[in-house]
A = this chain, B = another copy of it.
Amino acid sequence: MEHRLDRIKKELHAKSYKLTPQREATVRVLLEREEDHLSAEDVYLLVKEKAPEIGLATVYRTLELLTELNIVDKINFGDGVSRYDLRKEGAKHSHHHLVCTDCGSVEEIIEDLLDDVEKIVAKEWGFLVKDHRLTFHGICKNCQEKDNEERSE
C-alpha cells in the first residue's frame, strides 16, 4: 500500500501538483477500498474519518485530478452518480465490469478481453483506440444458483 501511494505521490510531483494531506487521505481511501466503486460522496464520508475538516468540493477536485492523471477511472453504472475506480498498477486501460441486475453486485475483470475487438475497430473503422469502457449487465453466478435452488424446491 505504501508502495503504491509513493508511486502516486511521484506522479503528482512529476506534473508539479502538490501533495496535500487531503489528497493523500483521499488516495488512501481509494487504495483501502480498491474493490469497491465509490461515488464522490462515498469517498467524502470515508475521507472525513481520516481528515474531518475536508470539504466535499475538495474531494471532487481531487478525484477529477486523479482521473486526469489516469490513476482512477470515472465510471458510470447508470444510477445518477459517477463512481471512481482505481486503476490496477500499471494498467493501460479501464478494466471491465459485470453488473448483476438482480442483486446489484459488481464484479471486476482485470484481464483485457478486447484486444481482438480493438484490432477490428482499428482496421474496419480506422479508429485509433486509446481506452475503452465495457460493462456487462446480466445475472451473476450467485443469483443463478439461487434461482436454480428455488426452482428445484
Residues of A within 8 A of B (CB): 74, 76, 78, 82, 98, 101, 107, 109, 113-114, 116-118, 120-121, 125-141, 144
Contact = CB atoms under 8 A, between A and B. Distances in A.
- Copies, count: 2
Contacts of A140: 126-128
A127 B107 contact: yes
A74 to B, nearest CB: 6
B137 A125 contact: no
A147 to B, nearest CB: 10
B144 A138 contact: no
A115 B136 CA distance: 12
Nearest to A118: B136
Given A74-B78, A113-B120, A117-B113, A130 B126 contact: no
A114 to B, nearest CB: 7
Contacts of A127: 98, 107, 136, 138-141
B139 A128 contact: yes
19 contacts: A74-B78, A78-B82, A98-B125, A98-B127, A107-B125, A109-B125, A116-B116, A117-B117, A117-B134, A126-B140, A126-B141, A127-B138, A128-B144, A129-B136, A131-B136, A132-B136, A133-B133, A133-B135, A133-B137
Contacts of A129: 136-138
